[in-house]
Amino acid sequence: MRPRRKEQEPSLESQLRLAQRRGSRRLKLCDKGGSSESRRKRRALVEQEIYGQMEHIPTKYYKLLGEVASLRASRGVKSEQAARTPVLRTFEVDGIRRDLEESNRKVKRLDEALRERDHTIAQVEVKKKAAMNTRCQMDEEYAELVKI
């Protein structure tokens, strides 16, 4: 009987690639058919799933940074330097995350403004057509009155 090998946890890079493949495959499925409302809902679900998967990445990242710091410490790197390096990188990650959240909020605001603008344009078009129809009717009535 062979001894069982301890199952290795997939690397962070392989997890990222897998999440990207899953996400791109699901996004392709979202673009096929259906009403725009259902496509929008499906896209929102896909985004939620992707962000849910992305939440696991920082945990793995922090775990790896801790391992790197302990390896550096065991190799004789000064403890200050071993501890300081991961802190700088985690700060950068947090900054990038804040930037991403801010840009997502900005996108939502712009999307709302665009929807409002499109709605206003549609209302103006309807009113314009109604005015044109009224004018045509009035012209026809005037022409009939002139004939009498």
CB 30 within 8 A of CB 50: no
Do residues 65 and 89 make contact, with C-beta atoms less than 8 angstroms apart?
yes
Q: What is the pLDDT of residues 87-140, one digit of tens each?
A: 556 777 778 888 888 888 998 899 899 999 999 999 999 999 999 999 999 999
Which residue has 């696991």 as its token pair? Answer: 56
Please give the Cα distance from 68 to 145 (Å, whole number). 93
pTM for the structure as a whole: 0.36
pLDDT at 27: 44
Q: What is the mean pLDDT of residues 12-25?
A: 59
